[in-house]
Chains A and B, each alone.
Chain A
Amino acid sequence: MRKHPISFTINGDLQELFVEPRKTLLAVIRDTIGLTGTKEGCSTGDCGACTVIVDGEPVTSCMLLAVSANGKEVTTIEGISSPDQLHPVQQAFLETGGYQCGFCTPGFIMAAKALLDDNLDIPEDEMRHALGGNICRCTGYTKIVEAVLSAAETMRANA
């Protein structure tokens, strides 16, 4: 299958690649670039495990063809913390126990980060609906919601 040249930035690094048109952004992130923090849970855009941030918006990367990411700015779970500083959302998930098996966690954290980047004052019920595109099977969401509320508080204090 003929490959297409694309270029985009991922976590600040420029990537210039030749990709088959059938490859998803998720496949390219995981298999070509080798960043495996972004997970594949359903391949149909329903579970949110593959959520990354593209030009500031949360996107299920299994539903975006890689060629469509040409020229865009992509952020994955690997791109939001430094070795000595977790992102407030990550720190809050860690402290409240907002993860168990951890498979949905990177996608959840990216969705929550995008949500809070947009609105730090979001009320719990709206936040629960806004995160409705991310499935977690282990936690029952109680501690995830606590984590996002706690992260919002930290981020408000730091803002």
Chain B
Amino acid sequence: MSEHAVVGKRLPRVDALEKVTGAAKYGADINFPGMLHARIFRSTEVHAKIVGIDTSEAEKLPGVHAIITQDDIPTGRAVFAKDKVLYYGEALGAVAATDPDIAEEAADLVKVEYEPLTVVQDVMESIKPDSPNLLNDKTKDGPRRRVITRQLKKLSKVTDEDNSAEIDRLNTELEGLDDEIYYNVAGETHESAGDAEKGFAESDIVVEGTYTIPRVHQVYMEPHVSVAHAEPSGKLTVWASTQGHFAIRSGIAGVLGIPLSDINVVGVTMGGGFGGRFNIQATHVPAVILSQKTGRPVKAQLTREEEFLDGRPGAGCIIKLKTGAMNDGTLVARKALAFWDCGSVAGGPIANTIRIRGVYKFPHLQMDAYAVHTNKSGTTSYRAPGAPQAIFAGESQLDEIADIIGMDPVDLRMKNMREEGDQVPAGAIEPIVGYKETLQAAADAVDWWNRKKEPNQGWGVAVGDWTNGCGPGAVYVSVHEDGSIRLFHGSMDITGTDTAMAQIAAEVLTVPYDQVSITRGDTNSAPYNTGSGGSVVTFTMGNTAKLAAEDARQRLLELASQRLNTDIANVELKDGKVSLTNGDAPKSLSLGELAAYSLSTTGGPIVGKGSLSGKLSAPAVAVQIAKVEVNPETGTTKVLKTVASQDVGFAINPIAVEGQIEGGVVQGYAWSMMEEMQYDEKGNVNPGFVDYRVPTSADIPRIESVIVEVPAPNGPYGAKGVGEPSLTPTLATFANAVTDATGVRINDLPIKPEKIVNALKSNGNGSR
């Protein structure tokens, strides 16, 4: 974009030097004299009553300073298990000692007596009446049962006509629906548009399938960590590696029952998050309470094994999906029934099951989703929570339809895509979107309609979508006497968002990028900020930085018009100075001169302010095409090519945008082909990188990113959320490519080699 000087440029990040030299301080790099080290002690049972916890031996170990359990939580809010444990590795309490190894030894000396209970790990077992009731949940009605119960309720209110025959019929149907009473349900959501059953009846073809998507860990490289210091006055400081230090502040205040003003949270450089770094229980609360008990700074840090056992990973689910279409490829109806495994904590991205609608015009849509408890740790967000799972099911089924009616998979998608002004099924009216442009860009990049393949090779395409939010955020911009610019804010940077803000301020104030610096404040000093999740940061903080810089620009123009004794309409900011636009003699004032002048004016120093929330974004779309080769003997899949196009609105920093796309694709690839948290009656069986393998540079070749820019009307320079869309189509892309290569479809992720070999055996052939 030639009209811009700084935004849209491939500039190094503001934190580049500290990152490549190892100077950046992460959570575990914070140390204080006299600091103690915490270690959590954990359940060795999967489901059991706690008969007693004996810490006496641990207390005797030299170097141990404090041991806490749930009894030490002032509000009684759940931090540690007290009466019963619901999964292997659940936290029971914590030890603080002078050395991490002593703390670990002490944790091992804690004796816990249990009374084991029946374990349930499978959501489809957990919903059955004979499963153990994990959290005393009431039963919930299945979709058909809900409909009948509602109809019966309605009919019972009608008194002026005789409905007894219909009531009898419905009651009879209800009695036959005993499998539609679900147990251990933590939550449910239901959405519909049109009439799905009617749509299926009108369709030429109807495809049905069950899709299983595993629970996976975010695998941020830095395990959870915090350092807490309780001062004698009662004031708390917490150095937290988190995606949102304001959220951590309110979380800690809630658990401790103390005012927000008693807690200062310092957000330190964070080693990845992907949605998993908002947790207060893992390390923050234990560190705080141990520091209160001992009066000393306490560091609490999880090991990688603890991350797997007691992290809050992304939820797995089972989706039963049905799609109806006409022979010409027109999509008519889609229906989903989803069961999300939320483990032992209510949650799971059930509402995002709606993503089965994709970017298509379904006249009829129905979605019923349930979150179901099992004996596993709770879950939380993982990059576009729920979307990759739902889109995997939806996009897999589109390829089945394309295959049955003999239509090209890209053509089928293009035919049904929504455009601006179309009705979103069970949603609003579509704003300006770049769905078709983005699909076309990916197809063009691989010359899709002339694509070639050798035996055992296959091509896969899929489309995913996501809309970023816009949380509250604020930025101050100061202009200093030497003309340098300083931004101050309270947003956690994971992905280069500070860099985007600095570029925007430089653009507005017409100064070189390296003249702008940026500082994140702690919760005591910075204005409130939303957490860095949901792809909100560049959208929110970019807008805010722009507002703040524009506010500063206005003040600069006012100062210049005063100084030059002219009307404000006669001055302009350009090339880092304010100049007269109507004078005969060229007169101008540099930003430094104006900043120095401001100090002697009644208006005082130049401070630009930007503050906003809740601005609407436009939906973003990601399209990915992969070419793979599958060895039919061994079932191993080799990725030959991956092209990822994404509508980012406007790429403020193309290096950062490409990085988000490339990273998302590889995470999605791993989810489809490699990663799975595995559980048996003993709990999680693969809590480490040997058994839970994540991709390395050897697993997948370079990702080719294609940036598409259909500007968001409200975005800073048109930018949309970038971090999450990149993962949404990937699971389906690779599944569709494997099917194209082998002729067999694996609906049960991850697509491990043995599944391919077995499917080929039962299918009786190899490639097609």
Q: A101-B272, A128-B698, A140-B703 are in contact. Are A86 and B21 (CB under 8 A)?
A: yes
Closest residue of B by beta carbon distance from A81? B21
Provide the bound-state CA to CA distance between A120 and B131, in Å: 61
Quick check: A128 and B272 within 8 Å, CB to CB?
no
Quick check: A103 and B222 within 8 Å, CB to CB?
yes
Quick check: A132 and B697 within 8 Å, CB to CB?
yes
A43 CB-CB contact with B under 8 Å? yes
Closest beta carbon of chain A to B493's beta carbon, Å: 9
Closest beta carbon of chain B to A152's beta carbon, Å: 14
Number of interface residues of B (CB under 8 A): 58
B702 CB-CB contact with A under 8 Å? yes
Partner of A97 from the list B12, B220, B305 (CB cut-off 8 Å) is B12
B743 CB-CB contact with A under 8 Å? no
Quick check: A41 and B222 within 8 Å, CB to CB?
yes
Range, interface on chain A: 35 or more
For the complex, would chain B's binding face be called helix, strand, loop or mixed by DSSP majority?
loop
Quick check: A47 and B659 within 8 Å, CB to CB?
no
Quick check: A37 and B663 within 8 Å, CB to CB?
no
Quick check: A97 and B272 within 8 Å, CB to CB?
no
Quick check: B496 and A100 within 8 Å, CB to CB?
yes
Quick check: A41 and B664 within 8 Å, CB to CB?
no
Partner of B655 from the list A41, A97, A134 (CB cut-off 8 Å) is A97
Provide the bound-state CA to CA distance between A44 and B307, in Å: 13
Q: Mark B664-676, 1 if CB is under 8 A from A, else 0.
A: 1111000000000
Provide the bound-state CA to CA distance between A131 and B699, in Å: 11
Q: Mark B650-683, 1 if CB is under 8 A from A, else 0.
A: 0000011011001111110000000000000000
Q: Mark A87-110, 1 if CB is under 8 A from B, else 0.
A: 000110111110111111110010
Quick check: A36 and B29 within 8 Å, CB to CB?
yes
Chain A contacts for B223, CB-based, 8 A? 40-41
Quick check: B272 and A95 within 8 Å, CB to CB?
no
A135 CB-CB contact with B under 8 Å? yes
Q: A34-B31, A46-B688, A101-B494 are in contact. Are A137 and B662 (CB under 8 A)?
A: no
B142 CB-CB contact with A under 8 Å? no
Quick check: B101 and A105 within 8 Å, CB to CB?
no
Quick check: A101 and B222 within 8 Å, CB to CB?
yes
**Most B C-beta atoms less than 10 A away, residue of A93, A140, A142:** A140
A61 CB-CB contact with B under 8 Å? no
Closest beta carbon of chain A to B358's beta carbon, Å: 24
Quick check: B656 and A41 within 8 Å, CB to CB?
no
Q: A101-B221, A137-B221 are in contact. Are A39 and B12 (CB under 8 A)?
A: no
Q: A136-B221, A140-B662 are in contact. Are A99 and B20 (CB under 8 A)?
A: yes
Chain B contacts for A14, CB-based, 8 A? none
Quick check: A97 and B221 within 8 Å, CB to CB?
no
B143 CB-CB contact with A under 8 Å? no
Chain B contacts for A86, CB-based, 8 A? 17, 20-21
Partner of A40 from the list B13, B23, B28, B698 (CB cut-off 8 Å) is B28
Partner of B304 from the list A27, A37, A43, A99 (CB cut-off 8 Å) is A43
B625 CB-CB contact with A under 8 Å? no
Interface set, chain B 18-75, CB cutoff 8 A to A: 18-26, 28-29, 31
B696 CB-CB contact with A under 8 Å? yes
**Most A C-beta atoms less than 10 A away, residue of B13, B28, B305, B662:** B662
B589 CB-CB contact with A under 8 Å? no
Provide the bound-state CA to CA distance between A134 and B15, in Å: 22
Partner of A138 from the list B29, B269, B272 (CB cut-off 8 Å) is B272
Q: Mark B213-226, 1 if CB is under 8 A from A, else 0.
A: 00000111111000
Provide the bound-state CA to CA distance between A106 and B100, in Å: 23
Chain B contacts for A137, CB-based, 8 A? 218-221, 272, 274, 663, 667, 694
**Most A C-beta atoms less than 10 A away, residue of B17, B303, B697, B702:** B697
Quick check: A131 and B696 within 8 Å, CB to CB?
yes
Quick check: B694 and A135 within 8 Å, CB to CB?
yes
Quick check: A104 and B664 within 8 Å, CB to CB?
no
Chain B contacts for A109, CB-based, 8 A? 20
Q: A76-B22, A77-B21, A141-B697 are in contact. Are A49 and B663 (CB under 8 A)?
A: no
Quick check: B23 and A37 within 8 Å, CB to CB?
yes
Closest beta carbon of chain B to A79's beta carbon, Å: 10
Provide the bound-state CA to CA distance between A141 and B664, in Å: 11
Chain B contacts for A43, CB-based, 8 A? 303-305
Provide the bound-state CA to CA distance between A128 and B702, in Å: 11
Quick check: A102 and B304 within 8 Å, CB to CB?
no
Chain B contacts for A72, CB-based, 8 A? none
Q: A36-B25, A42-B688 are in contact. Are A140 and B272 (CB under 8 A)?
A: no
Closest residue of A by beta carbon distance from B656? A97
A22 CB-CB contact with B under 8 Å? yes
Provide the bound-state CA to CA distance between A30 and B304, in Å: 18
Closest beta carbon of chain B to A116's beta carbon, Å: 15
A2 CB-CB contact with B under 8 Å? no
Quick check: A37 and B274 within 8 Å, CB to CB?
no
Provide the bound-state CA to CA distance between A37 and B13, in Å: 19
A28 CB-CB contact with B under 8 Å? no
Q: A34-B31, A138-B272 are in contact. Are A39 and B663 (CB under 8 A)?
A: no
Quick check: A143 and B659 within 8 Å, CB to CB?
yes
B270 CB-CB contact with A under 8 Å? yes
Interface set, chain A 119-159, CB cutoff 8 A to B: 127-129, 131-146
Closest residue of A by beta carbon distance from B704? A142
Quick check: A41 and B21 within 8 Å, CB to CB?
no
Quick check: A41 and B17 within 8 Å, CB to CB?
no
Quick check: B221 and A46 within 8 Å, CB to CB?
no
Q: A43-B303, A109-B20, A143-B659 are in contact. Are A102 and B698 (CB under 8 A)?
A: no
B271 CB-CB contact with A under 8 Å? yes
Quick check: A100 and B495 within 8 Å, CB to CB?
yes
Provide the bound-state CA to CA distance between A22 and B494, in Å: 35
Quick check: B663 and A135 within 8 Å, CB to CB?
no
Provide the bound-state CA to CA distance between A54 and B662, in Å: 32
Chain A contacts for B697, CB-based, 8 A? 127-129, 131-132, 134, 136, 141, 144-145
Provide the bound-state CA to CA distance between A100 and B697, in Å: 16
Provide the bound-state CA to CA distance between A44 and B23, in Å: 24
Quick check: A42 and B703 within 8 Å, CB to CB?
no
Sample (29) of A-B pairs whose CB atoms are under 8 Å apart: A30-B28, A36-B31, A37-B21, A38-B22, A39-B271, A41-B223, A49-B221, A77-B21, A81-B21, A97-B13, A101-B273, A102-B20, A102-B269, A103-B26, A103-B221, A106-B22, A134-B697, A135-B689, A136-B697, A137-B272, A137-B663, A137-B667, A138-B221, A138-B495, A138-B663, A140-B662, A140-B700, A141-B697, A141-B700
Given contacts A37-B21, A101-B273, A132-B697, 20 further A-B contacts (CB under 8 A): A34-B31, A39-B26, A41-B223, A41-B304, A42-B689, A44-B688, A44-B690, A46-B690, A86-B21, A100-B272, A100-B496, A100-B663, A102-B269, A103-B222, A103-B272, A132-B698, A134-B696, A137-B274, A140-B667, A141-B666
Q: Sort A-B residue pairs by CB-CB distance and give the 5 closest, nearest first.
A: A37-B22, A103-B271, A102-B19, A140-B666, A140-B662
